């Protein structure tokens, strides 16, 4: 079965056009590191409310 999200060599399709697995992993790490620095310098002011997951049973903790 062919994966529509992977290139023939098994690397995931990506917006960077990278076809080498190691180069893609390094680029992902660099992008993540840069975003973490940005968030540390200027934290987001958005409030995030978790949504209940239908696969996780809810327990009443009262």
Residue 61 in domain: no
Tokens matching residue 62: 């009262």
Question: Domain for residue 55, yes or no?
Answer: no
Tens digit of each residue's pLDDT, the chain (62 residues): 689 999 999 999 999 999 999 999 999 999 999 999 999 999 888 887 877 777 766 665 54
Take residue 25 and report the two structure tokens written for it.
């992993």
Answer whether residue 39 is part of any domain. yes
Overall domain count for the chain: 1
**Residues written for the chain:** 62
Q: Which residues contact 27 (CB under 8 A, 6 or more apart)?
A: 16, 18
Q: Is residue 56 part of a domain?
A: no
Assess if residue 52 is contained within a domain: no
Q: Establish if 26 belongs to a structural domain.
A: yes
Provide the pLDDT for residue 27.
97
* Residue 62 counted as domain residue: no
Residue 1: CB atoms within 10 A of its CB come to 3
Q: What is the pLDDT of residue 19?
A: 97
For 43, the token pair is 């934290």
Q: Is position 10 within any domain?
A: yes
Question: Domain range holding 1?
Answer: 1-44
């Amino acid at each position: 079965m062919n994966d529509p999200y992977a290139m023939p060599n098994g690397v995931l399709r990506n917006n960077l056009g990278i076809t080498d697995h190691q180069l893609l992993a390094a680029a992902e790490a660099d992008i993540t590191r840069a975003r973490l620095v940005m968030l540390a310098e200027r934290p987001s002011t958005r409030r995030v409310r978790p949504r209940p997951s239908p696969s996780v049973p809810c327990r009443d903790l009262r």
